């Protein structure tokens, strides 16, 4: 039933025009694309009548039909044109608070606020737009509610914020230089150089087998666009010279990655206020997100190969969500984009209660995993050599180094695979190129499954899969493969029993100590 006695607020008046104006670059790009095929007047008309005008009308109707009220413990939302709906969201259910400010938003002192609750796979509330002061007031109200629930702090006491991490410009530059994109680009140029060298050696010593490549190259000469013009050398460079093209594109991609990384994560800061962790970052688009520690469902520390050389890593945290939806929208967001590895594991202890050692003495899976993985890769290499033997002849010898490399990689993967279980957490580690350490509180475990493939049954092995609700950024639970069957059954029983008894244990343990400031 709609309550008429509430004091409702509307969104800021700039909601009438600012969101539509923010989409102007996309509208202009659409108009240009249509103009290429149908002419400038037609392109402008279609972009205005079918894109810009509907977007403007939508935001005007949203401003007129959307109202909210913020109290000390909950937020009320009333919306709808024909069918009016009133929702009540208690702050105790809020998992995540995101405050976003673009460059134009900061000019007007505005912000966009998104609230995600425990039972939702998407944002529950989106306030676009309200004043930045009102957004900060809402976040403080949610933070105070979280602290009261955990430690019973009286309303007259305000918790003191503590800075846990802050990124400097050298750290950002090193983080960009060792990011996933940089590692991918470096691996790409390595592969190209390897095959370029193989082609050179093949054409020098067994050139009769490479006549097809020469004929193909000569055939492509006549199809180079702009041949004989001033643009000819540039087009030919990108058309024909694979090595030079790769170097230029990789350098361009690295420079773009560097700039994008700094703009996105510049001015990064992580603070803790009572039980709530808040991160802020961004140069052009300022973003802020808050998360209560008790809501953490999974925490992951990632150490890529390049970052391990510099003693760096990145940290990911989940409080809930649907991974497939986030992967589609490309909105995965690290908790800490880059930091010193020793500092990261210290941060893990600050975020997760009752965690004694974030790097325990790992238990390894069965050593049968080494030869099992090696034989699979050998089978793939043999298949590739057989398929390419007729068209490429002796060139298929380039796959020979892959056989010892397959064994080497599986040994590395085995040595970097491990797990640990105690009364509160399941900790697993995997990967060599990209090492991941995943921390799962046992009380959030929702499902523990044990599977055996025909090859598993022959070797006496099994795979243990653990699932949790939070899987937006960390991927949720883990799958421990190549476990001895007896060990997998024991772990399944242990985790199932631990998930049932963990809530009772957590209630008996006192909450975290919160720094307080007298009024």
Cβ–Cβ under 8 Å, residues 325 and 416 = no
- 326 compared with 272, residue with greater pLDDT: 272
130 and 36, same structural domain? yes
Q: Note whether residue 516 is domain-resident.
A: no
- 477 compared with 334, residue with greater pLDDT: 334
Mean pLDDT computed over 330-341: 84
Of 273, 305, 337, which residue is a domain's last?
A: 273
Cβ–Cβ under 8 Å, residues 432 and 456 = no
Distance CA 128, CA 472 (A): 23
For the cut 70, the answer to whether the pLDDT of residue 184 exceeds it is: yes
327 and 469, same structural domain? yes
Q: State the residue range of the domain holding 392.
A: 368-412
CA 192, 197, 200 angle in degrees (round to 5)? 125
Q: What is the pLDDT of residues 414-453, one digit of tens each?
A: 999 999 998 889 999 998 888 999 999 988 888 899 999 9
343 and 303, same structural domain? yes
Query: Which pLDDT score is estimated for 92?
Result: 81
Q: Note whether residue 519 is domain-resident.
A: no
Give 472's pLDDT tier (boundaries 50, 70, 90): low
Query: Which pLDDT score is estimated for 125?
Result: 85
Distance CA 495, CA 447 (A): 9
Mean pLDDT computed over 93-103: 86
- 98 compared with 235, residue with greater pLDDT: 98
Token pair in block for residue 273: 């206020």
Least confident stretch, 92-96, 230-234, 421-425, 467-471: 230-234
Token pair in block for residue 463: 């795979």
**Global pTM?**
0.77
Give 218's pLDDT tier (boundaries 50, 70, 90): very low
Query: Which pLDDT score is estimated for 321?
Result: 54
423 and 331, same structural domain? yes
Of 273, 305, 331, which residue is a domain's last?
A: 273
Q: Note whether residue 174 is domain-resident.
A: no
For the cut 80, the answer to whether the pLDDT of residue 208 exceeds it is: no
470 and 484, same structural domain? yes
Query: Which pLDDT score is estimated for 354?
Result: 86
Query: Which pLDDT score is estimated for 121?
Result: 53
Of 412, 433, 467, which residue is a domain's last?
A: 412
Distance CA 178, CA 175 (A): 5
Give 4's pLDDT tier (boundaries 50, 70, 90): low
Least confident stretch, 236-245, 299-308, 369-378: 236-245
Exposed e or buried b per residue across 479-509, where buried means at least 16 C-beta atoms within 10 angstroms of its C-beta: ebbbbebebbeebbeebeebbeebeeebeee
Bridge partners of residue 287, in order along the sequence: 100, 281
Q: Note whether residue 342 is domain-resident.
A: yes
426 and 361, same structural domain? yes
Token pair in block for residue 77: 């939302």
67 and 117, same structural domain? yes
Distance CA 435, CA 438 (A): 10
- 326 compared with 434, residue with greater pLDDT: 434
Query: Which pLDDT score is estimated for 517?
Result: 35
Q: What is the pLDDT of residues 127-137, one digit of tens each?
A: 988 999 999 89
- 146 compared with 266, residue with greater pLDDT: 266
What are the DSSP calls for 74-137, one per residue? EEEEEE-SSS-EEEEEEGGGEEEEEEEE-HHHHHHTEEEEEEEETT-SS-SEEEEEEEHHHHHH
Q: Note whether residue 381 is domain-resident.
A: yes
Distance CA 502, CA 495 (A): 10
Look at strands 158-159 and 125-131 and give their pairing: unpaired
Token pair in block for residue 103: 């460059």
Query: Which pLDDT score is estimated for 470?
Result: 60
Q: What is the CATH number of the domain that holds 333?
A: 2.30.29
360 and 302, same structural domain? yes
- 20 compared with 499, residue with greater pLDDT: 20
The sheet carrying 445-451 orders its strands as 445-451, 461-468, 479-484
Mean pLDDT computed over 371-378: 93
For the cut 70, the answer to whether the pLDDT of residue 382 exceeds it is: yes
Query: Which pLDDT score is estimated for 16?
Result: 86
Q: Note whether residue 145 is domain-resident.
A: yes
Q: Note whether residue 3 is domain-resident.
A: no
Mean pLDDT of the chain: 79
For the cut 90, the answer to whether the pLDDT of residue 2 exceeds it is: no
100 and 119, same structural domain? yes
Q: What is the pLDDT of residues 69-88, one digit of tens each?
A: 998 888 999 988 888 888 89
- 504 compared with 199, residue with greater pLDDT: 199
Mean pLDDT computed over 96-107: 87
209 and 349, same structural domain? no
Cβ–Cβ under 8 Å, residues 232 and 226 = yes
Mean pLDDT computed over 160-166: 82
Cβ–Cβ under 8 Å, residues 123 and 115 = yes
For the cut 70, the answer to whether the pLDDT of residue 228 exceeds it is: no
For the cut 80, the answer to whether the pLDDT of residue 260 exceeds it is: yes
Query: Which pLDDT score is estimated for 461?
Result: 94
Question: Using H for helix, E for strand and C for coil, what is the string for 341-360?
Answer: HHHHHHHHHHHCCCCCCCCC
488 and 344, same structural domain? yes
Q: Give the percent of the chain with pLDDT over 90.
A: 29
Closest to 118 in 3D by CA, of 145, 139, 89, 147:
89
302 and 240, same structural domain? no
Least confident stretch, 76-80, 208-212, 341-345: 208-212
Overall number of domains in the chain: 4
Alpha helix segments (H runs only) across 322-453: 323-329, 341-351, 368-392, 402-415
Residue 353's Cβ-count burial label (10 Å; 0-12, 13-18, 19+) is middle
For the cut 70, the answer to whether the pLDDT of residue 391 exceeds it is: yes
Distance CA 418, CA 413 (A): 10
Q: Note whether residue 238 is domain-resident.
A: yes
């Amino acid at each position: 039933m709609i309550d008429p006695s509430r004091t409702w607020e509307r969104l800021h008046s700039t909601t009438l025009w600012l969101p539509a104006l923010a989409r102007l670059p996309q509208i202009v790009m659409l108009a240009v694309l249509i103009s290429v095929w149908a002419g400038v007047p037609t392109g402008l008309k279609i972009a205005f009548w079918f894109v810009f005008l509907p977007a403007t009308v939508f935001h005007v109707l949203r401003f007129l039909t959307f109202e909210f009220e913020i109290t000390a413990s909950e937020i009320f939302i009333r919306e709808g044109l024909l069918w009016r709906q009133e929702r009540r969201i208690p702050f105790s259910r809020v998992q995540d608070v995101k405050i976003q400010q673009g460059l134009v938003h900061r000019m007007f002192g505005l912000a966009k606020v998104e609230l995600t609750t425990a039972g939702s796979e998407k944002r529950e509330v989106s306030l676009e737009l309200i004043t930045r002061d009102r957004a900060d007031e809402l976040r403080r109200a949610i933070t105070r509610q979280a602290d009261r629930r955990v430690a019973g702090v009286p309303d007259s006491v305000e918790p003191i914020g503590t800075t846990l991490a802050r990124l400097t410009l050298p750290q950002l530059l090193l983080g960009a230089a060792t990011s996933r994109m940089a590692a991918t680009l470096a691996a790409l140029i390595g592969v190209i150089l390897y095959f370029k060298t193989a082609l050179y050696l093949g054409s020098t010593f067994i050139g009769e087998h490479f006549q097809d490549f020469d004929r193909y190259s000569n055939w492509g000469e006549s199809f180079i666009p702009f041949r004989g013009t001033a643009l000819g050398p540039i087009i030919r460079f990108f058309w024909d010279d694979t090595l030079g093209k790769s170097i230029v594109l990789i350098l361009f991609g690295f420079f773009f990655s560097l700039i994008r990384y700094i703009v996105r994560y510049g001015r990064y800061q992580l603070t803790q206020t009572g039980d709530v962790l808040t991160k802020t970052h961004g140069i052009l688009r300022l973003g802020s997100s808050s998360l209560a520690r008790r809501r953490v469902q999974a925490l992951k520390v990632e150490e890529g190969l390049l970052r391990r050389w510099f003693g760096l890593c990145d940290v990911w945290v989940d409080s809930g969500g649907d991974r497939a939806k986030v992967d589609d929208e490309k909105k995965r967001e690290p908790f800490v984009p880059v930091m010193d590895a020793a500092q990261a594991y210290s941060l893990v202890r600050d975020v997760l209660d009752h965690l004694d050692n974030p790097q325990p003495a790992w238990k390894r899976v069965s050593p049968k995993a080494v030869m099992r993985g090696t034989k699979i890769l050998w089978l793939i290499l043999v298949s590739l050599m057989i398929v390419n033997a007729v068209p490429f002849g002796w060139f298929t010898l380039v796959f020979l180094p892959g056989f010892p490399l397959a064994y080497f990689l599986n040994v590395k993967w085995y040595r970097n695979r491990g797990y640990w279980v105690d009364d509160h957490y399941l900790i697993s580690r995997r990967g060599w190129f990209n090492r991941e350490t995943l921390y799962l509180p046992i009380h959030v475990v929702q499902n523990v499954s044990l599977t055996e493939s025909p090859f598993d049954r022959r070797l006496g092995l099994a795979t243990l899969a653990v699932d949790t609700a939070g899987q937006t950024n960390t991927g949720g639970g883990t799958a421990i493969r190549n476990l001895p069957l007896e060990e997998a059954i024991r772990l399944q029983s242990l985790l199932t029993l631990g998930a049932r008894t963990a809530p009772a244990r957590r209630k008996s343990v006192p909450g975290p100590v919160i720094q307080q400031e007298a009024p």
